[in-house]
Chains A and B, each alone.
Chain A
Amino acid sequence: MASLSLSKVRKSFGETHIIHGVDLEIGNGEFVVFVGPSGCGKSTLLRMIAGLESVSDGTITIGGRDVTTLDPSERGVAMVFQSYALYPHMSVRDNIGFGLRMNGMPRAEVERKVAEAASALHLTELLDRKPKQLSGGQRQRVAIGRAIVRQPDVFLFDEPLSNLDAELRVQMRLEIARLHAELAATMIYVTHDQVEAMTLADKIVVLRAGRVEQSGTPLSLYDDPANLFVAGFIGSPRMNFMRARQDENGVIRLTDYGNAEVSLSLGSSPQLGRDLLLGIRPEHFGPNLPVRLSVMVDLVEHLGGASYAYAGSGSPHPLTLEMREGRNVARGTVLETGFDPARAFLFDATSGERIR
Chain B
Amino acid sequence: MSARSGQPGKALSLGLKHLAYLIIAFIFVLPLWWAIVSSLRPNSAIFADIFPFTPKALLPAPFTLEAYTGIFERGFGLIIANTMLVALVTMAAGLIVNGAAGFAFAMFDFKGKKFILSAIIISFMLPFEAIALPLYTVTQQLGWLDNIAALIVPSVANGLAVFLFYQFFSQVPKDYAEAARLDGVSWIDILLRIYVPLSLPTCISAALLLFIFQWEAFLWPLLAMPSQQFKVIQVGMAAFQQQYQTIWNQLFAVSVITALIPIALLLPLQRYYVQGLAGAGIKG
The residues of A with any CB-CB pair to B shorter than 8 Å are 50-52, 71-74, 77-79, 81, 83, 85, 87-89, 98-99, 102-103, 146, 150
A166 CB to closest chain B CB (Å) equals 24
When distances are taken between beta carbons in the complex, the residues of chain A under 8 Å from B178 are 50, 52, 72, 79, 81, 85
A76 CB to closest chain B CB (Å) equals 10
Are A85 and B173 within 8 A (Cβ)? yes
When distances are taken between beta carbons in the complex, the residues of chain B under 8 Å from A50 are 178, 182
Query: Which of A71, A89, A150 touches B197 (beta carbons < 8 Å)?
Result: A89
| Nearest residue, chain B, Cβ from A100 | B183
Are A98 and B182 within 8 A (Cβ)? no
When distances are taken between beta carbons in the complex, the residues of chain B under 8 Å from A85 are 173, 175-176, 178-179
- Chain A CB within 8 A of B22 CB: no
A50 CB to closest chain B CB (Å) equals 6
With A81-B175, A85-B176, A87-B176 as known contacts, state yes or no: A99 contacts B197, CB within 8 Å: no
Q: Which of B163-214 contact A (CB under 8 A)?
A: 173, 175-176, 178-186, 189, 193-194, 197-198
A74 to B178, CA, bound (A): 14
With A85-B176, A89-B198 as known contacts, state yes or no: A79 contacts B182, CB within 8 Å: yes
| Nearest residue, chain B, Cβ from A88 | B198
Task: Report the interface size for chain B: residues with CB under 8 A from the other chain.
Answer: 17
A79 to B182, CA, bound (A): 7
With A87-B194, A88-B198, A89-B197 as known contacts, state yes or no: A52 contacts B181, CB within 8 Å: yes
Are B184 and A102 within 8 A (Cβ)? yes
When distances are taken between beta carbons in the complex, the residues of chain A under 8 Å from B193 are 98, 102
B146 CB to closest chain A CB (Å) equals 45
With A52-B178, A81-B175, A85-B175 as known contacts, state yes or no: A73 contacts B198, CB within 8 Å: no
With A87-B194, A89-B198, A102-B189 as known contacts, state yes or no: A73 contacts B175, CB within 8 Å: no
With A88-B198, A89-B197, A89-B198 as known contacts, state yes or no: A150 contacts B183, CB within 8 Å: yes
For the complex with contacts A50-B182, A89-B198, A99-B182, 16 further pairs of A-B residues with Cβ separation under 8 Å are A50-B178, A52-B181, A73-B181, A74-B184, A79-B178, A79-B179, A79-B182, A81-B179, A88-B198, A98-B180, A98-B183, A99-B180, A102-B180, A103-B183, A146-B179, A150-B183
Are B176 and A99 within 8 A (Cβ)? no
When distances are taken between beta carbons in the complex, the residues of chain B under 8 Å from A79 are 178-179, 182
Query: Can you list 8 A-B contacts (CB < 8 A)?
Result: A52-B181, A85-B175, A98-B180, A99-B182, A99-B184, A99-B185, A102-B180, A146-B179
| Nearest residue, chain B, Cβ from A79 | B182
A71 to B180, CA, bound (A): 12
| Nearest residue, chain B, Cβ from A83 | B175
With A83-B173, A85-B173, A85-B176 as known contacts, state yes or no: A78 contacts B182, CB within 8 Å: yes
